[in-house]
């Protein structure tokens, strides 16, 4: 078989440039990670060729003995890793996984509640532009001035509106989730509690964030981010969920297929199985622990350099920076300046942002990839200084170029994908 650079040099050239970018840049978007070479091999396998509509041993097409085996392996590894009763590994990503939860537990027009997007929540937890708000009655809760979830408001919404589904989880919430509080409220009104651990799945698996398994009825997650797998999704049903509704696992499966999707991506599921196997090894606990240590060290470095953080720190892998001391709506400008300096992160709204989502006043960053590369607290101190320097003088092109060269040298000390 001819190499891609011979048969399609245009595509090969673009991929080569991306390989170089990933090697020479501090990738700090907290929802991204670098998969292992084995995961890359699995998702690039011939499993991409096979249609496998249905579920293991109950497919609509013939020739699925091997896809059945790989999907069952992924399921068993997920059940073991998280300690749950049932797992569906077919969702193509986190958003359809979450929408399948709505389909399994609600009727159109039913009331739901989740954390508002500008306060760190997720689109699919009922934000107004999402289908989850268009087809369901969404009432959003918020965070307080200190950046922590406002449980007085959550209880008020629960008492007055009786949502049938309560979401816990976020995309830009830097503190540990108090699952117990959500569980108490859900139980009081007989609501389903769905916990979206997309961002913290690897931390939960590694034992450095409490597990929601004892408190939630349903758990959803992506398989990339801190779990360090390919881009996919999973839905898990707990013992508590089956006690609430013995048919819940079947409802979830029917909601995914045929309710939401057709054929599953079995090459991605092979990558998920590989990543879950890696997460079951003892060294993954060390990795997860180092993610949090690095995030805390980075937060300390930023604050020492007079950068304001939402909630004044982090318990997890991510940090949310409040840029309002430097001006309103500067998030995108500073994100671009940092990318020019070799630091890739994203502009992000902050709670009660005085600007718009298109010109947010914050940036969001995290430590999963830097930890995957082998960096530790010493490097976080320097990285925090780089970021702070650019924030304070974000129009200084000469400074950006100087820092970029230093970052290229730093990245060379912590290489990735040497064979590519």
Catalytic residue annotation = 51, 53, 196, 222, 225, 231
The torsion defined by the Cα of 49, 55, 61 and 63, in degrees rounded to 10, comes to 60
Strands 218-222 and 233-237 turn out to be antiparallel
Residue 244 and residue 186 in contact, taking contact as beta carbons nearer than 8 Å: no
Residue 126 and residue 152 in contact, taking contact as beta carbons nearer than 8 Å: no
How far, in Å, CA of 82 to CA of 90, rounded? Answer: 17
Tokens standing for residue 420: 């590519």
Termini Cα distance of the chain:
18
* Alpha-carbon Rg for the chain in angstroms: 22
At residue 386's C-alpha, the angle toward residues 350 and 143, to 5°, is: 15
Q: Tokens 């060729």 correspond to what residue?
A: 49
Q: How many residues does the chain have?
A: 420
Which DSSP string corresponds to 97-150? HHHHHHHHH--TT-EEE-B-GGGT--GGGT-TTSHHHHSSEE--B-B-TTSSB-
Residue 232 and residue 272 in contact, taking contact as beta carbons nearer than 8 Å: yes
Please choose, from the candidates 26, 16, 19, 37, the residue with its C-alpha nearest in 3D space to the C-alpha of residue 373.
26
Residue 290 and residue 171 in contact, taking contact as beta carbons nearer than 8 Å: no
How far, in Å, CA of 54 to CA of 67, rounded? Answer: 11
At residue 350's C-alpha, the angle toward residues 345 and 356, to 5°, is: 95
Beta bridge partners of 27: 344
**Can the peptide bond before residue 258 be classed as cis, meaning omega within 30 degrees of 0?**
yes
């Amino acid at each position: 078989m001819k190499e891609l650079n011979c048969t399609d040099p245009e595509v090969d050239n673009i991929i080569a440039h991306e390989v170089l970018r990933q090697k020479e840049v501090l990738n700090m978007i907290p929802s991204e990670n670098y998969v292992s070479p084995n995961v890359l091999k699995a998702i690039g396998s011939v499993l991409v060729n096979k249609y496998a509509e249905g579920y293991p041993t109950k497919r609509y097409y013939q020739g699925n003995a091997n896809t059945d085996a790989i999907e069952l392996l992924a399921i068993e590894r997920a059940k073991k890793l998280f300690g749950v009763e049932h797992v569906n590994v077919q969702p193509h990503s986190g958003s359809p996984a979450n929408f399948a939860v709505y389909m399994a537990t609600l009727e159109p027009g039913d009331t739901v509640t989740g954390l508002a997007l500008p306060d760190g929540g997720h689109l699919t937890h009922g934000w107004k532009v999402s289908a989850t708000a268009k087809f369901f009655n969404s009432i959003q809760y918020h965070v307080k001035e200190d950046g922590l979830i406002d449980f007085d408001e959550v209880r008020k919404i629960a008492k007055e509106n009786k949502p049938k589904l309560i979401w816990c989880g976020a995309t830009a919430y830097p503190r540990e989730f108090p699952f117990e509080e959500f569980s108490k409220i859900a139980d009081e009104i007989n609501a389903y509690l769905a916990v979206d651990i997309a961002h913290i799945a690897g931390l939960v698996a590694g034992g450095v964030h409490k597990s929601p398994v004892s408190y939630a009825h349903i758990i959803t997650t992506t398989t990339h981010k801190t779990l360090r797998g390919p881009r996919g999704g999973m839905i898990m049903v707990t013992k508590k969920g089956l006690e609430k509704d013995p048919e819940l696992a079947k409802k979830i499966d029917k909601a995914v297929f045929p309710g939401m999707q057709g054929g599953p991506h079995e090459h991605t599921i092979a990558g998920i199985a590989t990543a879950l196997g890696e997460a079951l090894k003892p060294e993954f606990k060390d990795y997860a622990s180092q993610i949090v240590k690095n995030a805390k060290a980075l937060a300390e470095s930023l604050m020492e350099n007079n950068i304001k953080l939402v909630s004044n720190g982090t318990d997890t892998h991510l940090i949310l920076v409040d840029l309002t001391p430097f001006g309103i709506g500067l998030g995108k400008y500073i994100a671009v300046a940092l990318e020019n300096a070799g630091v890739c992160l994203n502009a992000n709204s902050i709670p009660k942002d005085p600007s718009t989502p298109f010109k947010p006043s914050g940036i969001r960053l995290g430590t999963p990839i830097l930890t995957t590369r082998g960096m530790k607290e010493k490097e976080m101190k320097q990285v925090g200084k780089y970021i702070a320097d650019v924030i304070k003088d974000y129009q200084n092109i000469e400074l950006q170029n100087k820092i970029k060269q230093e970052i290229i040298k730093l990245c060379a000390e912590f290489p990735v994908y040497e064979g590519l």
